[in-house]
Structure 1
Amino acid sequence: MKYRVLPYTLKVWLTSVALAPVLQMFVQLITQTPYKFNTLRDVVVYLLYMLVCGWLFSIPCWLLLLFSAWITNLFTSKTRLIKIILTFAGMVIALLPFVTYAGNSLPQYNNPDFAWVMFYPLTIGLGVWMYKLKPTAQVAETHTPHFDEHIGHTDEPIIT
């Protein structure tokens, strides 16, 4: 069975784009790490900034996730296996921009700043398991109406 991977990966990606900054903001408001917010305006502006940047910079990640889902869907039809592979691929893909752009300056796992980096891969993994893979619409077999032989070969006039 083949699945509709475009809407599925869009849901997973958009969930991550929307949920990761909100979770990050929630943690930052509680811990005040790494920024301190003085006003509600600061919080809203920073959240909007994170949403826009997260959306823009993660478009290549969504395309890679879509490609991964498409390839996986070609080789297997087992939903659980597809989701396991996409969870791993999605988490790696979500970490790629941070590793690529941060290089050696990526925070270590014991550093409190590492938490904000992990929200993106965690929300990708959550989205993979939260949404259902829907099968593609099966192409209906061409159905030709049965031709009644008795009607077709009658010598009697057809009454209309």
Structure 2
Amino acid sequence: MPVDVSTDVIIRRPRDVVASYAADPTNAPDWYVNIESVQWRTTPPIGVGSQMDFVARFLGRRLAYTYEIVELTPRKSLIMRTADGPFPMETTYTWEALGADTTRMTLRNRGMPAGFSAVLTPFLAAAIRRANRKDLDQLRAILERG
């Protein structure tokens, strides 16, 4: 059973500001509750084909995986994928200008759990939804302060 979780937040900052901050993987540990570190495999800046190693903690487990940017439309959307580990994932960011100084950011996670993780799919979806809400709330707090 696939997992497909989409969460959005309204941020009182221009789309360019929100998109440039959120799309920079080096900022991920600041606004993602579960991400401990990000290391570039390829040379910055971000573009299609860029790869980064992420280390996260989720549901009490340490997860290490590599994301690759597979689609990037600057200031509009970014799609990254990983095939690593028990839960291959695709993460999509979209940014929509709601006015000159207001942006809706949507964070979508899709994946197909394998092995034992597949049994936990309904619980994984709920846990991802909770984590995404915390992440986007943290992102909003950071950007609206700045």
Where is the helix percentage greater, Structure 1 or Structure 2? 1
TM-score, normalised relative to structure 1: 0.37
TM-score, normalised relative to structure 2: 0.39
Select the structure of larger CA radius of gyration: 1
Where is the strand percentage greater, Structure 1 or Structure 2? 2
